[in-house]
Amino acid sequence: MCEPAAKPNCWKCTLAVEWHDCQWCPAIVQRQGMEFRRGISRRTHPERHINLIKPMKNKSLFNRRASSAFTLIELLVVIAIIAILAAMLLPVINIAVTKAKVNKARTEVQALANAIEAYDSAYGRFPVSPYVQGLASAAGGDFTYGGVFNGATPNILGTTYGGSTYVVTNAEVVAILMDLTTYPSGGNTVNTNHVKNPKQTKLLSANYSGSTGNEPKPLGGIDNNGVYRDPWGNPYIISMDLNYDEQTADAFYSHQTVSQLTSGSQGGYNGLFNTNSASPNTDSFQFHGKVMVWSAGPDGKFDVGATANAGLNKDNVLSWH
């Protein structure tokens, strides 16, 4: 140990410190950047006071979870955004679904017309019952297989003869084309013992719906009574040239109010033509062909007071052969 008087600034000198119990809590100051040279100190950085005694404040686990969760307002905003997007998408989805059903109906009416022509080619006659053939002969023309339509105008369609309307569904035509001897409900068809389809050739493929046909909105496909229905649950309408004059008159599209282009004209919508040149303003519009098959479309309705391309008739799905 050096003498204090000789070396007053010597930093190596030791000093005895005597500690006593007391309640005084000193603040500890850390001085950084101090350089010592032979008793000379030089400060290179400002002092930084650090309280080494005060504990750190930590968020509790509950607070951390609460800060990461959705608030009620945020949740309501998300729900509102989802509702707006759903409202925007629903019309688009409905349009797509309707378009898909129209395409399906178009495929099915074409398949029906093709199957009838194939039957005519195979047997030299149309797939009808003797009862219908007799009605057509008595009426002096063709026959339309119609049915009852939910809310349609008119809601019943069939061939009119002698002041009466004969409503016959397409069930017997379908049974002959599919070579069915019994209906799904168990009743016998006009093809019992394959009498109307002796070659037992299945010319038409269609799905069974399991519907009774009496529901407010029957399913599409073949119901338990053998009626072939479109995707909206209404029966397909079929008209055939049963007098074999290469002209087919449909019970609905033969009307002047539906098919005539302009008053006094023989020309009609959808390729129809009035063969009565002397009286073109009559219900004699026909198709130059053997088969007419059509659906009442998405609305399931048709109106004899509107033209074929307007009102309730514009969405009908047609197939002429």
The pTM of this model reads 0.75
Domain boundaries, given as residue ranges, for the chain: 106-320
Q: If you average pLDDT over residues 137-157, what whole number do you get?
A: 85
Range with the lowest mean pLDDT among 144-158, 162-176, 245-259, 268-282? Answer: 144-158
Per-residue confidence (pLDDT) for residue 30, from 0 to 100: 52
pLDDT digits (tens, 9 = 90+) for 197-208: 999 999 999 999
Mean of per-residue pLDDT scores for the chain: 85
Tens of pLDDT, residue by residue over 210-241, are: 999 989 889 999 999 999 999 999 999 999 99
A 10 A CB-CB count for 61 gives 8
Choose between 304 and 2: higher pLDDT.
Answer: 304
Q: Is the pLDDT of residue 46 over 80?
A: no
Confidence (pLDDT) at 297: 96
Span 56-113, pLDDT tens digits: 455 554 455 555 677 989 889 889 999 898 888 888 888 999 999 999 999 999 999 9
Is pLDDT at 38 greater than 90 in this prediction?
Answer: no
